Structure 1
């Protein structure tokens, strides 16, 4: 069975009919509730906070954020702001009169808020949609870069974000987590029920502050490269050793920067950066 994000862009897939079907399904409500509470547990909020809900949809997660601590929302009730690319989903949220403020926006174009606005952020079943490009003028790498750079800026120092998503494969999982690390986040992956059809992947992100040695997030284990400081030192060492102008490393680094900017870049091959023989 094809994945929703492989069929249509989210603003077209979640039309009026699909939005209502998604919101009224008791099965989806239960899954969304469980994943939101799991994300909140990973955020470890101890007091009412200002939370950003990325891909908020019809406000299913927001309704939990608005609940008091004794209703199962740690540190709640929280004040929240949500944004989504689907006008139909936001229309359902307005009909339900959810307590959060809502904004129509595309996460792949960035996070449109002032720097340091939010204490924390959550995203449930949304960021895998950023791994698809809707036109030849865009790219998944560019969309992910704009999103994570914008998210990093919008969180206060010491803030944390938890993004639950459904990666298609390990390559996509690595692409998402690497984009977050390049944006400056301390990052770790946590997977519930791995190897089953009920597997849920959570990307846990921190913004500066605290102890940056070892397991940055304090809640995840086993992610390759979770020590971002070590990873950056290795990258700088490799850059000094290889990154001379015109070298393969220089070319690959330049192409990577262009991809993060959302520009179309020609595919690399074994000939990329190879010196050509002088023709007489």
Structure 2
């Protein structure tokens, strides 16, 4: 099956039908959430401190929901209006804007404490219009992103490089724009679990994070299980628990958003039968 970026430009491929299909597919949702949580982990954000983050290629807000769960504030940008319409319909807590990442990040200098992007970066390597120059679009994107990040901030991109040449092209333009860092490859020996993360840093002198090992490695602890363990240790409510739902609703009330009242049914587990 061909990857989406080989079939049509993103604003055309993710039409109303495809956007709804994407957001309702439980397998896609699960994958997006896991990759988003890994991206946040690689950001190395301060513990127990809300940050202001940028989500590039935010789509319908699946990755933004992960940021919300961690108590962060975010702004998302995407080129697909259909995807953003669903994000608004889902009442995501972040603000979303319609924007082409290849034309740069339209934000003030030093605005964000970090940036994540899930499955979007490889689209910049395509020339969907006669005016598109992948090298120029990559540099424009990275240089404006560098400007709108605070110093010592990180940007983490989960992406699907077509080959090693494309990976080198992307990395070279990021370094030219002022970033330093590199690619972290999780589960390199697995066909399905293998994931590439471009980890970029604006300042400091820290080594790249360690990649997760092969799934067959008995010494490798699932970062999902580790994440839940850390949340428990910090006294944070687990996702989808009654306490987690109430905390999220209270955050929405503080933001002045319309929120359903609590009741004895809030957070109640369903039997799965109708």
Aligned equivalents of 1:135 and 1:90: distance in 2?
22
1:186/1:217 contact within 8 Å kept: no
Q: Which moved more, 1:198-207 or 1:97-106?
A: 198-207
Match of 1:206 among 175, 188, 201: 201
Aligned equivalents of 2:45 and 2:118: distance in 1?
17
Establish whether residue 7 from structure 1 lines up as the match of residue 7 from structure 2: yes
1:16/1:89 contact within 8 Å kept: yes
Task: Tell me which residue corresponds to 1:20.
Answer: 20
Task: Tell me which residue corresponds to 2:59.
Answer: 57
Larger radius of gyration: 1
Task: Tell me which residue corresponds to 1:219.
Answer: 209
Aligned equivalents of 1:102 and 1:218: distance in 2?
30
2:151/2:202 contact within 8 Å kept: yes
Task: Tell me which residue corresponds to 2:91.
Answer: 97
- Please state how far the C-alpha of 1:158 moved relative to its aligned partner: 0.7
Aligned equivalents of 1:145 and 1:110: distance in 2?
9
Aligned equivalents of 1:189 and 1:218: distance in 2?
8
SS where residue 33 of structure 2 aligns?
helix
Scaled by the length of structure 2, what TM-score is found? 0.74
**Residues 218 and 199 of structure 1: CA distance in aligned 2, closer, same or farther (over 3 Å):** closer
Scaled by the length of structure 1, what TM-score is found? 0.72
Aligned equivalents of 1:119 and 1:189: distance in 2?
20
1:108/1:146 contact within 8 Å kept: yes
Segments ≥4 residues shifted beyond 4 Å: none
**Deviation sequence 1:20-72 (CA, Å, 0-9, x none):** 011111001110011011011111112210000000000001111011xxxxx
Q: What are the equivalent positions in structure 2 for 1:1-280 lying under 5 Å apart?
A: 1-46=1-46, 47-67=49-69, 76-195=70-189, 196-208=191-203, 210-211=204-205, 216-220=206-210
Aligned equivalents of 1:220 and 1:43: distance in 2?
13
In the comparison of the two structures, how many residue pairs are matched? 208
SS where residue 41 of structure 2 aligns?
helix
- Please state how far the C-alpha of 1:143 moved relative to its aligned partner: 1.1
**Deviation sequence 1:74-96 (CA, Å, 0-9, x none):** xx300000000000000000000
SS where residue 137 of structure 1 aligns?
coil
- Please state how far the C-alpha of 1:217 moved relative to its aligned partner: 4.2
2:199/2:208 contact within 8 Å kept: no
Q: Which runs of 5+ in 2 are unaligned?
A: 212-274
- Please state how far the C-alpha of 1:220 moved relative to its aligned partner: 4.8
SS where residue 182 of structure 2 aligns?
strand
